[in-house]
Structure 1
């Protein structure tokens, strides 16, 4: 009888310990789920031509500063010319901040992203800066789009899309095609994202490629181009809240 009572007590203690550990694990998982990757991206509103401009990003995960982000990269372009963007790696200041310096050689309105990958998440806050009187970009936007055949329709307020156009694309090789989406500087999750692709030599033959959400707001697909030439890729985005956006890009396949 004493042995039975002893075994029951031991079993109860083991169960209580297991429940306690499970509760702690659940609390930790819940805490991790509540954390978000945030980036405070600071860029001056204006600058002079030739002036050194400092780009500064403070990265936090929950209440903690991220001192070892996987990647922090700044990308900037003259407004209306996103396909001619420039990317620069940041300097990790080892205090949760990442910085870089850039100069602009002529007047215009420039837009930029701070691409941040950390804690298995990706975010890309967007800013703009007016250099000089900012008139060059405004005067040339329409001519540039007509010349390059790119369609960048006006997006819904707060919505941003960044298509990471693959480079050095070869025939019959698999290519990663990734697009990052945000709404009000927060990753746009659970969207339906498809690529509509066609060769300009065969405009009547369109392919549709479904993507998968690899990380919050990050949608990926693999595509194989079977023929060389100039291709049009239209990124289509929809969700249950009535969002319907698209953006057109060109890809050269060798």
Structure 2
């Protein structure tokens, strides 16, 4: 009788464990999703609505930690504009923007919720975009591989002697680029000593490192990106250290 009771108890425990694993598996499968809605075209000065519809599994997210729209003229990402998304209903966050001049504009919908972060990328053609792009291409020195996007969170108010966070987001064909090899090449304008800093992937598609700038001045930062599929990209930025 005791053996039968023990077997029954063990069977119940196994059943409960299986159910718990199934529930846990369902939770693990839930991911943060953003439907980023942007018109394909617009005219300079026209008011354009940007919309991000945020969901987590089957749940519409009404309390995202952040929805921030960032946009810039293609090829000039260092001069970007950020606009906070305002929650309306049914997981929708919107903002109204105006694009001042002709060109192709690229846009991120930076979204943080449920402990996850995602940043879908879209583009919009404003005015006579083809002519503007043609003029820009005459000054482009490095062209990225198709579908590759690099976004450097340019740090502000950098103080010499303090630890500075260097963060870069990578996407390939609209998806976060994971398991890449990312290095920061740091060179002071006045000097020859180059510092190489390896970045760690902190979230899917997000790579971070910490560096202490020993002296004030102007520095060049070249971000090098490689992966196992022969991707090799780089992009250069200039920062000021106080």
Same fold (TM over 0.5): yes
* Equivalent-residue separation in structure 2 for 1:136 and 1:253 (angstroms): 33
5+ long unaligned stretches in structure 2:
none
Number of equivalences:
241
Q: Decide which of 42, 65, 69 is 1:70's aligned counterpart.
A: 65
CA separation of 1:29 and 1:188: change in aligned 2, threshold 3 A: farther
Kept in 2, the 8 Å contact 1:79–1:141? The answer is no
Shift of 1:136: 4.3
Shift of 1:142: 5.0
* Equivalent-residue separation in structure 1 for 2:90 and 2:209 (angstroms): 35
Kept in 2, the 8 Å contact 1:122–1:218? The answer is no
Kept in 2, the 8 Å contact 1:80–1:137? The answer is no
Per-residue displacement from partner, 1:33-59 (whole Å, max 9, x unpaired)? 333322211111111221110001112
Q: 1:84 is paired with a residue of what secondary structure? A: coil
* Equivalent-residue separation in structure 2 for 1:14 and 1:221 (angstroms): 51
Q: Decide which of 139, 147, 153 is 2:135's aligned counterpart.
A: 139
Shift of 1:181: 1.3
Q: Decide which of 169, 174, 177 is 1:185's aligned counterpart.
A: 174
Q: 2:218 is paired with a residue of what secondary structure? A: strand
The more displaced of 173-182 and 11-20 is: 11-20
CA separation of 1:94 and 1:13: change in aligned 2, threshold 3 A: farther
The more displaced of 84-93 and 176-185 is: 176-185
Shift of 1:253: 0.5
Q: Considering only CA atoms, is the larger Rg found in Structure 1 or Structure 2?
A: 1
Shift of 1:89: 0.5
Q: 2:161 is paired with a residue of what secondary structure? A: coil
Kept in 1, the 8 Å contact 2:77–2:151? The answer is no
Kept in 2, the 8 Å contact 1:170–1:253? The answer is yes
Per-residue displacement from partner, 1:74-121 (whole Å, max 9, x unpaired)? 001112211110001100123111110001222222211111122322
Structure having the higher helix fraction is 1
Shift of 1:179: 1.0
- 1:93 matched to 2:82? The reply is no
* Equivalent-residue separation in structure 2 for 1:244 and 1:18 (angstroms): 52
Q: What is the CA RMSD across the aligned residues, in angstroms?
A: 2.0
Kept in 2, the 8 Å contact 1:109–1:138? The answer is no
* Equivalent-residue separation in structure 2 for 1:67 and 1:60 (angstroms): 9
Shift of 1:190: 1.5
- Superposed, which structure 2 residues align to 1:1-254 within 5 Å? 5-6=1-2, 8-134=3-129, 135-136=131-132, 138-140=134-136, 142=138, 153-202=142-191, 204-254=192-242
CA separation of 1:241 and 1:90: change in aligned 2, threshold 3 A: same
CA separation of 1:169 and 1:142: change in aligned 2, threshold 3 A: farther
Kept in 2, the 8 Å contact 1:35–1:62? The answer is yes
